Amino acid sequence: MTRADIYLDNNATTPCDPRVLEAMLPFFGQVYGNPANGLHKQGRLAAQGVEEARERVASLLGAAPAEIVFTAGATESNNLAIQGIARAAARHGRRRIVTSAVEHKSVLLPCQKLAAEGFEVMVLPVDDRGIVSLDAAEQVINEDTALVSVQAANNEVGSLQPVAEISEIARQYGALIHCDAAQAVGKIPLDVHEWGVDLLSLSAHKLYGPKGIGALYVRGGPGALPLEPVYVGGGQERGIRPGTLNVPAIVGFGKACEIALGQVVQEAAYLTTLRDDFERDLLSRVETLRINGDRERRLPNTSSITFPGVDADALLLNVPHLMLGTGSACTSRTIEPSHVLQAMGISRQDASSTIRVSIGRFNTAEELAIAAESLAEAYYRLLQA
């Protein structure tokens, strides 16, 4: 009997919510105007769609609509925040950038690029749960620091970072703080004022919206912070991110944020139950497995599991009905064990025996029960091979 496919890779991307798709459809058809053309009805309808979406995105973050800049996703938002602040700050003499060892490549690589240009980049270590060291933050953030960039939640192990505490330290020294919240938005309630961040990146496709659209929250709006655009061209998004807006995607992003705002608390509880039951089930079948990251301070949907002695790719090949991620995600197409797991002190060998289960809104308890059973079966099969 072939088993139905089960999608458990929701940190990589989520399926588009049918309500999001429905909200987008008119903007692929009847409403085709360019929102920059306010002089005719088509332009005005498109602009209305964009501005309504901007309000919905802002509401989810506790921000004001004027503080939202639409981008092509979190990769672009991270680049804009890091390169944009660094370039402006260099003129004021601040040359230190502080980030963490477990950031996404779209934070680490812009920082590396700035290091090659003469900025001083300091990388904060994490503990064995993947949580950034506040002591190290206290030691390296100083008056020379232009920007601190720390993620809200880790994409591989789900660890939640002490963003508010790090913001507090940054503020003492007049440094700006950016947070890559791509994995947190929609999964946990968050508020930019509570966290005290100046910039925050998010991406629609991580919260049941379309791919290729995201936003950068800029405290006070572009113009309030020393932020230079990466691209120059038209005056869209107040010149900080020029280019004709992707109206259908923006409308879908807005709808996804509105849905998230309405159900994030209940959904987090649902996902926590599914995840915790799954981990209990799996551990009762295979006692030697290890769950990585902090068991408490963790995204509700994420489970990073090491299967000692077995290659993660081989394990996944043995469960073809399960769609999961590995801990050795090869972003650059070279198989290099995860920098996140290694930063947590996990050996290369164990990192290459690690898989990531990331649960989503549309998963059921039954699917997770099948996943636990199948993974345990495949593991024992491979150990005996």
Task: Give the residue numbers marked as catalytic.
Answer: 330
Smallest distance from ligand PMP to CB 304, Å: 13
Q: Does 74 bind ligand PMP (CB under 6 A)?
A: yes
CA 101 to chain centre: 15
Q: Which of 158, 173, 165, 236 lies closest to 196 in space, CA to CA? A: 165
Sheet with 96-100, strands from edge to edge, namely 68-71, 214-218, 199-203, 176-180, 145-149, 96-100, 120-124
CA 206 to chain centre: 7
Q: Which of 148, 188, 139 lies closest to 166 in space, CA to CA? A: 148
Smallest distance from ligand PMP to CB 180, Å: 5
Distances (CA, A) of 368 to 157, 278, 281, 291, 360: 18, 6, 9, 16, 11
Smallest distance from ligand PMP to CB 212, Å: 8
Among 155, 303, 326, 328, binds ligand PMP (CB under 6 A): 155
Contact (CB, 8 A) for 197 and 163: yes
| Stretch in the footprint of ligand PMP (CB under 6 A) among 26-34, 93-101, 178-186, 303-311 | 178-186
Backbone torsions φ then ψ of 366, nearest 5 degrees: -60, -45
Among 104, 275, 298, 339, binds ligand PMP (CB under 6 A): 104
Among 123, 182, 245, 344, binds ligand PMP (CB under 6 A): 182
Sheet with 290-292, strands from edge to edge, namely 290-292, 302-306, 354-358, 325-326
Q: Does 183 bind ligand PMP (CB under 6 A)?
A: yes
Q: For residue 329, list its beta bridge partners.
A: none
CA 362 to chain centre: 19
Q: Does 75 bind ligand PMP (CB under 6 A)?
A: yes
Among 99, 161, 167, 180, binds ligand PMP (CB under 6 A): 180
Among 33, 35, 49, 73, binds ligand PMP (CB under 6 A): 73
Contact (CB, 8 A) for 192 and 200: yes
- Looking at beta carbons only, is 95 or 211 nearer to ligand PMP? 211
Query: Which residue's beta carbon is nearest to the bound ligand PMP?
Result: 73
Among 203, 302, 328, 358, binds ligand PMP (CB under 6 A): 203
Q: Does 246 bind ligand PMP (CB under 6 A)?
A: no
Binding mask 216-245 toward ligand PMP (x if CB under 6 A, else -) reads ------------------------------
Length, in residues, of the chain: 385
Among 14, 83, 151, 167, binds ligand PMP (CB under 6 A): 151
Q: Does 214 bind ligand PMP (CB under 6 A)?
A: yes
Q: Does 79 bind ligand PMP (CB under 6 A)?
A: no
Strand-pair category, 325-326 with 145-149: unpaired
Q: Does 106 bind ligand PMP (CB under 6 A)?
A: yes
Residue numbers at the binding site for ligand PMP (CB under 6 A): 73-75, 104, 106, 151, 155, 180, 182-183, 203, 214
